[in-house]
Structure 1
Amino acid sequence: MDKPTASCSSFPPTVENPEVESDFLRSVHALLRELDGHHPAFQSERGMLRWTLHKKIDRNPSNGVLLVKILVKELERAERCGYRQYIIPLLHTLMYTLVKAPGIPDDLYERVYDFCKKLLTLPKPYCTIGLHYARQLKLERTIPGILYQRMVSAEQSLKNDSFPYQEKVFMFADPYLLSDAVCRAVVTEIKAARTSQCIRSCMIYVVEHVLREGLKDHCDFRTLQAILQEKPLDMIEHCFQQVVAAIEHAGRDMSAECNQYVEELEKIYSALLSTSSSKKDEEEATAERSPGIPLPNPNISFHLWTDEDQLWKELVLFIRPQSQSGEEDSLSQELDSFEIQDFDCCEQARFSVLSTDSGIERDLPMPGDEVPEAEPRLQRKGGIKKRASTLDCLSLLQTGSNGQGTKPAGKLHRKCGGSIMEPIAQMKRLHTARVLVLGDDRVLARLVQAYYSLRKRESRRAYLTPRLKVQFYYVPVMEEQPSSCPMEEYALPDMTQPCELSAYLGRVDPWYESNINTLCHMIPKLATMPSSPSKNSVSDLFIIDVIAYYVRLGLQPIFFQVYAVKLFFKNAVLEPAEDIFLIQLHVTLEEFDPTRDNLLMKKKTGVEVPGADVTLMYKKVLLSNREKEETVSLRSTGLVMKAIPSDETEDLVCLNVNIAEVLKTSNLSGRSYSLVTNKIRTRNINMQSTEQRSFAVCLDKDSRRVYRNVIGIEVSPCLEPSYCLQKTRDRRTSLPGDEDVGLAKYLPKSLLLPINTFAGIIQ
């Protein structure tokens, strides 16, 4: 990879202030101490340090160069001394500063670029993040201002022909889990952030930033600000279109010299100066202008999750309004017809249209015959739409599933930050939906159900997948200890942790722990604080600023296995139920009464033994990546299956099952009973009650998802719907016993839910 080309000119040297430099250095060192986690004095400020540091640059952009110098020095020192845990947080902080701060010298860009190239020799995620940022740095130095322009244009959906990409953040909250005060606090910040996000302001920001970065000291920035503020919307839009066209033209022709790009910007700048008002008006306007250019927060929409299909509907509406071309109009019509289809059938029904025209000339009506007026002769009848080719469907399903391409290669360790497989047929998806959920583990269970439903629909008829990229983000929010399932947990370890998945993400990604997990209790705390005049100020927003930082830089997904469960009921008339879970499955004996059947030492003879006799059939998972089939019969009061590991040192994609087993002992004083917890690791397990005593099954800690009168369960990894559908089609032509024949062997087998973090899993 070549070094980024030098820019055409440079800003005047920044005057360094020793006090400011010392303040920045203290802030950066506080961030590093926070990552170590050995300084309790900083616990009250966790999550605020990074936000405060970037706010200092927002208030005084001229200090951005000084902060970049400090961050570069700390990065080089961390690499030299082997402090790898500091590299990714410092690099994220540095790159976010580069996008926001103006006038960064070329020598600093080259030092950061060289550092990113060194990361290519390290394992994931360092090499992945280093390559991503190296490409961005090369692009920015070749075409100054392109990173800011693309970010703002996409996030604000600014209409232009040269860069049609659009992004949107969909924030979902379950009203059952969050109080009205928390929802109101988040909505208030979203509305406050929108005050600086009008279309006119965002276009002006892009024009100002690009001209300032491209023309350097040849641009009178304060005069430019004054000129743009007095222009009407149509002229602002025309200037914005010219700037974006110049950037994207240079982006398509990377071999072109920087002078050509600068010449285009100079023409735009000269045209603006020629249409300006009197000099006196300019001087009055520039006296009140700020030298900084804000970075608007992304477009965020807040949704209370009240409808099971709400996620799919919102994604449809996201790509639907932009119907300006014939192709997009046809998309809207297809979606209209698609919404009323029955999604429960895998095969689409085929309808034929009976033609009354035999095609023989003598059968045509004579000139004197009457022709019905209701049906014009050239009206097109509704026919069968052409299906996409098999290879096109395969590429869509591969790209839209989980970004991992084919099935896992048998490794048990959890995957993270995998590179997205290039589809067979190149697709241009112009929309990106960033779905962010607020709440505890129960909201993730709702998310995985919506994701599974979405994948089922797309596997049958891919409408959103060719046009839309979906990424998932999670911000834990917990107001109080959630009410667990209406069943107690006897002789089992504490299984009531409300935010297990976020705790796991914090262990494997320290930067997620510092910036996102701190919001778990901070958001409810901010929601209960009394309102103040500055609380709704754009400069004082905290929740939305942190979320914006997360969705912009959290680009490394961690994939979590989704599990399917089949439940058999005591009433044989009832059909078995099928469901999925992501985090936990809890089984408890329904007839067990702890007040009556005390589990302490029993001295009475003939007392009823607590629990029920069950048979467990499972495949034991070993560290050697082998599976051993086991069958165990025991007496138990229940079990808990955990899909999220409690220790990252054994991060295996499997279920950790804790079984409460009843042990009967006899001695001279009589008979006694005790409970012990057996632990097994498996990916497939069947449990059957041999004496027909029923159990209650609770999925993902949600009291709304409890199944009663259950006597048997079957748990296995949930299969990807596209794989199931393709395997069903291939089975018609395959021989008995063949597995994964035809196109099914190229599709991912398991359904994985990707949750984005800053670094993925740091080894």
Structure 2
Amino acid sequence: MFIFLHLLGMLYQRMVISEQSLKSDPYPYQEKIFIFADPELLSEAICNALVTDTKAAQVSQSPRACMCYVIIHAMQAALGEGCDVSGLKASLQDMPMSDVEHWFRQVVVAVECAGNEASADRSQHAARLEKIYCAVLSNAPLGGLQGTPLPNPNISFHLWTEDDQLWKELVLFIRPLSQSCEPDCLSQDLDNFGIQDIISDCECCKQTRFSVLSTDSGIERDLPTAAEEPFTPCSAETEQSRLHRKGGIKKKPSPLENVAFLQAGCNGPGAKPPVKLQKRPGIPPVPAAPLQRLHTARIVLLGDDRILGRLAQAYHSLRKRETRRVFLTPRLNLQFYYIPVDHTATGQEDLCEVAGYLGRADPWYESNINTLCHMIPKLAAMPSSPSKHLVTDLFITDVIAYYVRMGIQPVCFQVYAVKIFFNDPAQEPAEDVFLTELRTQVQESISHRGVSGALEPFLQVVVSNRAKELAMSLRATGLVMKAIPADESEASSSCCSLPLSPYLVCLNVNITEIVRINNLSGRSFSAVANRLKTRNIKIRSTEQRPFMVCLDKDSRRAYRNVISVEVSPCPEPSYCLQKTRTMKFNLHKTEDVGLVKYMPRSLLLPINTFAGVIQ
């Protein structure tokens, strides 16, 4: 019984430490919840309600209050009725912050030691904490037992206004800005901080490199004269050289480009020590300690399928950046969560197909999370109470905290790559990704004369990844590709009912074909629905008639004057890079060899639920 109770107490302690990013050597893990909402997809009232709710949740979450929660909870769990909770609270409130931090560290060490000792018993653990308890407690009146609350996690709310905003926030979470950096410069510094400036941790980049801007041509006659530059003594070797290069001028790095700043958030246990620029000859290099993922970022998306499509874009971009130069991957545990919010009144288009799919896969998600789809807009539309500053019912924040704490089982969705060719040969092809849907539509309407004439095929569809490649020509005004099964019957009959792995992937392609019918009254035309299931598909206009392509139901991601489209499962960037490197040494082998065999081939986007999907 003691082991079970102690385990619960240790879990409480670790949860508060990690969620509030409290400094603790025995448990140095940190977590943070990032809520992302697209202001163009949600109403202003919903965004304001979310901002108000998250701010109100932070009122009782100061580091001092959270440290006191940990101390009181540990004492009450170990001492039981012998713990004077009221007196302990009063003593902690009167203490300076430095003393609270001291006793917090003592309690954390005591609880962690008891958890690591196999022979630990209740009396020994209670004696340790009672000693700390007596040192902390003042002469306060004895009070009854009281419950110690579990504070809400550290939550930040973000309006998603920039394409690379997700990556920027993750970088700042791992490596926060120094106190000397002005907050006003943050946005500009982030804009100037490209992935090429990140210090690489991969094996091919052992030394830190600095960007150097040289302003001279390197030729002696272009250098300043003695009158222009103060004289400095030179060595004999320098004097013998007629042509020499003046030292380059370094650009003043922004706080985010500084090497020390890059490693600022990564010097805890398990982090790599800074790499020295020069190595002394004859001294073997000290092997760096392996990195640990001490940070967990829980990304909560609020909105409909359109924001998930934007997440797929950002996730693909992040994976490509990490493939080029690793920084986040070895340090960060990344978790995705999705709360559907639909405030549209038309109801003509289902904008929450992913939420419906997750609800069918996980009944707990259906009853706890999908109910928020229309509840959040209703709560945002309610008039604010006069005592708005005394918010006690933090419903949205409480649900989010429950979801991220208990929803730890992912459902993986395949991300699809799209290559788009335009009518203008001079225009470069565009490459993009989508998660839920790709829709094409003819830009010009087909006239009656055009339809009743020669009936040349408009679309040519080539379906590959089968035993035999299938090509067909159809007259159609457009088509819709669905990556999410619409219902259970479609999911069970689909070749990839659940996109759990890159080998179980299926697109449901719906094409409405215009068919000519000859009868006694003359010619007529009717629409015939064609349905295809495939992994790879190519579509092109045989009449050079341009069409429009819209990704993930988002009008902002629409391409016009398109003449051809190629769709296939999006490859995992790290797999592509590793395979390319492997093929350099195995020119005649086409199959995967070495490390490539164990790497995921396709890019999967995991969204956490309570039950996940059982394979």
Q: TM > 0.5 between the two?
A: yes
* One of 475, 480, 483 as aligned partner of 1:643: 483
Match of 1:440 in 2: 304
Task: Tell me, in whole angstroms, the C-alpha distance in 1 between the residues paired with 2:594 and 2:160.
Answer: 39
* Aligned positions of 1:139-178 closer than 5 A: 140-143=4-7, 145-178=9-42
Task: Tell me, in whole angstroms, the C-alpha distance in 2 between the residues paired with 1:470 and 1:718.
Answer: 20
Question: Counterpart amino acid of 1:755?
Answer: I
* Aligned positions of 1:39-188 closer than 5 A: 140-143=4-7, 145-188=9-52
Question: Counterpart amino acid of 2:469?
Answer: E
Question: Counterpart amino acid of 2:70?
Answer: V
Change (3 A) 1:591 1:243: same
Measured after TM superposition, the shift of residue 208 of structure 1 is: 0.7
* One of 627, 650, 662 as aligned partner of 2:514: 662
Match of 1:201 in 2: 65
Q: Deviations over 1:285-313 (max 9, x none)?
A: x67x8822111111111111111111111
Measured after TM superposition, the shift of residue 171 of structure 1 is: 0.6
Q: Deviations over 1:194-231 (max 9, x none)?
A: 11111111111111111111222332333323322322
Match of 1:330 in 2: none
Task: Tell me, in whole angstroms, the C-alpha distance in 2 between the residues paired with 1:523 and 1:762.
Answer: 30
Question: Counterpart amino acid of 1:616?
Answer: V
Unaligned runs of 5+ in 2: 180-189, 219-233, 240-245, 248-258, 260-270, 272-288, 499-504
Match of 1:574 in 2: 427
Change (3 A) 1:724 1:219: same
Question: Counterpart amino acid of 1:571?
Answer: D
Q: Is 1:749 aligned to residue 590 of structure 2?
A: no
Q: Is 1:477 aligned to residue 341 of structure 2?
A: yes
Match of 1:320 in 2: 175
Question: Secondary structure of the equivalent of 2:550?
Answer: strand
Normalised to the residue count of structure 2, the TM-score between the two structures is 0.78
* Aligned positions of 1:497-536 closer than 5 A: 497-533=350-386
Q: Is the 8 A contact 2:298 2:337 kept in 1?
A: yes
724-733 or 528-537, which moves further after superposition? 528-537
Match of 1:619 in 2: 464
* One of 619, 633, 639 as aligned partner of 2:473: 633
Q: Deviations over 1:705-755 (max 9, x none)?
A: 111111211100000111111122222222245132343222111000000
Q: Is the 8 A contact 2:457 2:473 kept in 1?
A: no
Question: Counterpart amino acid of 1:172?
Answer: F
What fraction of aligned residue pairs are identical, expressed as a percent?
A: 59
Measured after TM superposition, the shift of residue 320 of structure 1 is: 1.1
Unaligned runs of 5+ in 1: 1-5, 8-137, 325-334, 357-363, 376-383, 385-395, 397-424, 484-493, 598-603, 622-626
Q: Deviations over 1:80-137 (max 9, x none)?
A: xxxxxxxxxxxxxxxxxxxxxxxxxxxxxxxxxxxxxxxxxxxxxxxxxxxxxxxxxx
Task: Tell me, in whole angstroms, the C-alpha distance in 1 between the residues paired with 2:209 and 2:15.
Answer: 44
Task: Tell me, in whole angstroms, the C-alpha distance in 1 between the residues paired with 2:211 and 2:312.
Answer: 38
* One of 543, 556, 570 as aligned partner of 2:409: 556
Task: Tell me, in whole angstroms, the C-alpha distance in 1 between the residues paired with 2:77 and 2:564.
Answer: 66
Normalised to the residue count of structure 1, the TM-score between the two structures is 0.64
Task: Tell me, in whole angstroms, the C-alpha distance in 2 between the residues paired with 1:249 and 1:605.
Answer: 81
Task: Tell me, in whole angstroms, the C-alpha distance in 1 between the residues paired with 2:378 and 2:456.
Answer: 43
* One of 712, 718, 721 as aligned partner of 2:573: 721
Q: Is the 8 A contact 1:505 1:513 kept in 2?
A: yes
Question: Secondary structure of the equivalent of 1:466?
Answer: coil
Question: Secondary structure of the equivalent of 2:59?
Answer: helix
Q: Is the 8 A contact 1:143 1:258 kept in 2?
A: no
Q: Deviations over 1:632-661 (max 9, x none)?
A: 222212110000011234214310110111
Structure 1 or 2: more helix by fraction: 1
Q: Is the 8 A contact 1:156 1:166 kept in 2?
A: yes
Aligned residue pairs, count: 524
Match of 2:535 in 1: 683
Measured after TM superposition, the shift of residue 533 of structure 1 is: 4.2
Question: Secondary structure of the equivalent of 2:343?
Answer: coil
Question: Secondary structure of the equivalent of 2:113?
Answer: helix
Task: Tell me, in whole angstroms, the C-alpha distance in 1 between the residues paired with 2:384 and 2:211.
Answer: 64
Question: Counterpart amino acid of 1:717?
Answer: P
Change (3 A) 1:430 1:482: farther
Match of 1:127 in 2: none
Question: Secondary structure of the equivalent of 2:196?
Answer: coil
Task: Tell me, in whole angstroms, the C-alpha distance in 1 between the residues paired with 2:178 and 2:20.
Answer: 17
Question: Counterpart amino acid of 1:613?
Answer: F
Question: Counterpart amino acid of 2:315?
Answer: Y
Question: Counterpart amino acid of 1:739?
Answer: E
How large is the Cα RMSD of the aligned pairs?
A: 3.4
Q: Deviations over 1:667-706 (max 9, x none)?
A: 1110011011111111111112222122111100011111
Measured after TM superposition, the shift of residue 253 of structure 1 is: 2.8
Q: Is 1:306 aligned to residue 161 of structure 2?
A: yes
* One of 101, 105, 110 as aligned partner of 1:246: 110
Match of 1:454 in 2: 318
Q: Is 1:431 aligned to residue 431 of structure 2?
A: no
Task: Tell me, in whole angstroms, the C-alpha distance in 2 between the residues paired with 1:618 and 1:479.
Answer: 37
Task: Tell me, in whole angstroms, the C-alpha distance in 2 between the residues paired with 1:251 and 1:681.
Answer: 53
Q: Deviations over 1:356-384 (max 9, x none)?
A: 9xxxxxxx9479x9xxxx99xxxxxxxx9
